[in-house]
Chains A and B, each alone.
Chain A
Amino acid sequence: MKLKNMLLGTVFGAAVAFGATAAMADGHAKELTVVSWGGAYTKSQVEAYHKPFIEETGIQIKSEDYNGGIAEIKAQVEAGNVTWDIVDVELSDAVRACDEGLIEPLDPSILPAGADGTPAQEDFLEGTLHECAVANIVWSTIFSYDTTKITGDVPTTMADFFNTEKWPGKRGLRKGAKVNLEFALIADGVPAAEVYDVLATPEGVDRAFAKLDTIKDDVVWWEAGAQPPQLLADGEVLMTTAYNGRIFNAVAGEGKPFEIVWDGQVWDLDLWVIPKGAKNKEAAMEFLKFSTATEQLAAQASYISYGPARKSSAPLVGKFHNADIDMGPQMPTAPENLTNAVQNNFEFWADNADQLNERFNAWLAG
């Protein structure tokens, strides 16, 4: 019986001891937490921003991945326990988070002037500075295919992506209404400039869904940016929409035989925001200023094909870091890639995302 007493004592003793540890484990300080989209994109930021920043300031950085959206920021801010210090978000999310008071307002005058001396407000591309956010890159959603799987007659337009008769096989699409509806309309013959006008009408939405309906059974849905290159490489899909930088890096970095189709691309901004109540706000501001300087933005462009948000960075953009590839033509903003392109309309999506996603989910489940 002694043994059993001891056993019981040990269990409760352990509980108390662990309880105390739990309390201790719950309250210790940490380094700067930078949150971004993972994979090749985060890697480019680690190379271009994090490493030089750590070197210069000695502040350690913890890098975390997420899949976009403001859910986590909101949950942290409302719980009053903000563990993220600076987050890379899409424009429509930045606008909404700012409206809801989830992120800190940012004064653009604190940003360093361009390398050529242009003040920051003029140096940044138009629309890339927001009252709560500072853009770092221009990125795009495009579609891509494997050149070893599709030979001869290759797809060149968004309409081809939807043409499963000529190119039978699975298609990869990001799970959600955003961008897919734009693609569907472009494929259905709507000129890029009119996409949001059409989408603003109920008939336009019906038309987009009707177009998506034509390939619904062939779609493989992805959520994380790292998935599409994987899907293509595994042969799970014949063509997939993807973030252009991920495809480029699979090609340039890993020698994958993928081809990007720029027709109908939907481009957008990624911006840094600082969640309200971030524990390391000072360090986060330092990081924000550091990473959006001319040099760092240009440096990032040598690791992934996303366009820098500063005009002064453009001339500094050279070749891919470990291959002889000019980065200029790989950017979403290169003139030849912009012939039939749409800029993501953040206001449209801030207004309609809830409703259209609801319809999208009903459509998916049906």
Chain B
Amino acid sequence: MKLSQRIQSNGFYVFAAAVVLFALYTRSWAGTLGFAIIFGIPLFAMGELPPYATRAQKIGKYAYLTICTMIFIFLVLPILVIIPLSFNAEPYFSFTDGMLALDSAAYSLRWYADIFRFGMTAPDAIEGWWADMWANATWIRAARNSFFIAIVSTALATGFGTLAALGLSRPEMPFRTAITSLLISPMIVPLVITATGMFFFYGGTMQGIIPGYENGLANTYLGLVLAHATLGVPFVIITVTATLTGFDQSLIRASQGLGANGWTTFTKVIMPLIIPGMISGALFAFITSLDEVVAVIFLADVDQRTIPRQMFSGLREQISPTILAVATILVIMSILLLTTVELLRRRSERLRGLSPG
């Protein structure tokens, strides 16, 4: 059906009338837009129905698509809503009248500035501002901690995880199910239990075992890195094994038959195939660490506070739109990461000839 045809259908007239009525009744551009989206999208998505479809079938399909539209809105709306809210000029979590009227005075960047200024000793000083911000701003310190812990734990999880996935995907691997279950279990065991165990073990039992950490690993970066690496492992295992399913083991024999040694086989044959899986696994592990807060609550001291930990206490005690500004930045980051993973997945599928593109 062409667009012009669709516009001439009965359904469209009903829809247009409803939108106009709604607009007249509420006199709100935002409300009308929402209304039009919820009920308009399904109309355009109706697509081709066989000519013999009854009216009931048409309405049924329309209702089904409307429900699906609403579910998609349910999925993304909360995440999108925080973006405009983070530009609120007022210290609230809600839309002000000014914001709805698109009054530019109702919007401001003050909460983004607050990310840098909060916690600084002299936020208005000109000299030494950068050094002060880098060293003292609460959110900046949290961001440094977050990235530091995430990068190190991701490297650990990816290194160990890739090796293990290579072993697990070999056809001759013994105890495969048992070992896989063990390695996946950090994802299954509730975080509170993991964190409680680590709180006891890292903090108490490990005292005096590791040189340089006579007091155990509680309140140390090392403890958090170990905890987060453990939590990232399942993701690496899952993604790398997924890229290795359908991996033709005879390629290895072929490469060996052609005189390549183990290392060459690994770098020239295996690596190119698993690199996409490794990277997406690493990204999963990275984002898991970046997002993890329970272990941080149990194991970290104020010095090791991460972004989500800071958000957690912010949400518990004094809710300020700074949290939304931070959240917006995180959403943008997730979008970038998601795009990367999506591109990698497609590349990997193309390489292995699994999908048309």
Specify whether A and B are partners.
yes
B86 is an interface residue with CB less than 8 A from chain A: no
With CB as the reference atom, state the residue of chain A lying closest to B145.
A25
Partner of B302, one of A21, A23, A83: A83
Hey, which chain A residues are within 8 Å of B158, CB to CB? 11
B164 is an interface residue with CB less than 8 A from chain A: no
How far apart are A306's CB and chain B's nearest CB, in angstroms?
21
How far apart are A284's CB and chain B's nearest CB, in angstroms?
17
Q: How far is the CA of A141 from the CA of B187 in the complex (A)?
A: 44
B219 touches A22 (CB 8 A): no
How far apart are B14's CB and chain A's nearest CB, in angstroms?
43
B214 touches A15 (CB 8 A): no
A81 touches B218 (CB 8 A): yes
A5 is an interface residue with CB less than 8 A from chain B: yes
Hey, which chain A residues are within 8 Å of B225, CB to CB? 19, 22
Given the contacts A15-B159, A79-B203, A81-B215, A22 and B317 also touching, CB distance less than 8 Å? no
A78 touches B203 (CB 8 A): yes
B216 touches A80 (CB 8 A): yes
B95 is an interface residue with CB less than 8 A from chain A: no
Q: How far is the CA of A25 from the CA of B155 in the complex (A)?
A: 18
A12 is an interface residue with CB less than 8 A from chain B: yes
Given the contacts A79-B218, A81-B215, A18 and B152 also touching, CB distance less than 8 Å? yes
B267 touches A5 (CB 8 A): yes
Hey, which chain B residues are within 8 Å of A83, CB to CB? 219, 301-303
Q: Which of B253-279 contact A (CB under 8 A)?
A: 267-268, 271-272, 275
How far apart are A42's CB and chain B's nearest CB, in angstroms?
13
Hey, which chain B residues are within 8 Å of A18, CB to CB? 148, 151-152, 155
A115 is an interface residue with CB less than 8 A from chain B: no
How far apart are B285's CB and chain A's nearest CB, in angstroms?
12
Number of interface residues of B (CB under 8 A): 33
A12 touches B155 (CB 8 A): yes
How far apart are B289's CB and chain A's nearest CB, in angstroms?
13
Given the contacts A18-B148, A78-B204, A11 and B155 also touching, CB distance less than 8 Å? yes
B216 touches A15 (CB 8 A): no
Which of A4, A18, A78 has most B Cβ within 10 Å? A18
A230 is an interface residue with CB less than 8 A from chain B: yes
Hey, which chain B residues are within 8 Å of A282, CB to CB? none
- 1/0 per residue, CB under 8 A from A, across B143-163: the answer is 000001001100110110000
- 1/0 per residue, CB under 8 A from A, across B198-231: the answer is 0000011001000011111011111001000000
B316 is an interface residue with CB less than 8 A from chain A: yes
Q: Which of B137-194 contact A (CB under 8 A)?
A: 148, 151-152, 155-156, 158-159
A224 is an interface residue with CB less than 8 A from chain B: yes
B8 is an interface residue with CB less than 8 A from chain A: no
A1 touches B271 (CB 8 A): yes
With CB as the reference atom, state the residue of chain B lying closest to A23.
B212
Hey, which chain B residues are within 8 Å of A227, CB to CB? 317-318
A226 is an interface residue with CB less than 8 A from chain B: yes
24 interchain pairs, CB-CB under 8 A: A1-B267, A4-B275, A5-B267, A8-B271, A11-B282, A12-B159, A14-B151, A15-B156, A19-B225, A21-B148, A22-B148, A22-B152, A22-B221, A22-B225, A25-B221, A64-B302, A76-B219, A79-B204, A79-B207, A79-B218, A80-B214, A224-B318, A226-B317, A227-B318
Which 6 residue pairs are nearest across A and B when measured between Cβ atoms?
A15-B155, A80-B215, A22-B221, A81-B215, A18-B152, A79-B203
Interface set of B (CB-CB < 8 Å, partner A): 148, 151-152, 155-156, 158-159, 203-204, 207, 212-216, 218-222, 225, 267-268, 271-272, 275, 282, 301-303, 316-318
- Contacts A15-B152, A83-B301, A230-B318 supplied; 5 other A-B pairs, CB < 8 Å: A11-B158, A18-B148, A75-B203, A80-B214, A227-B318
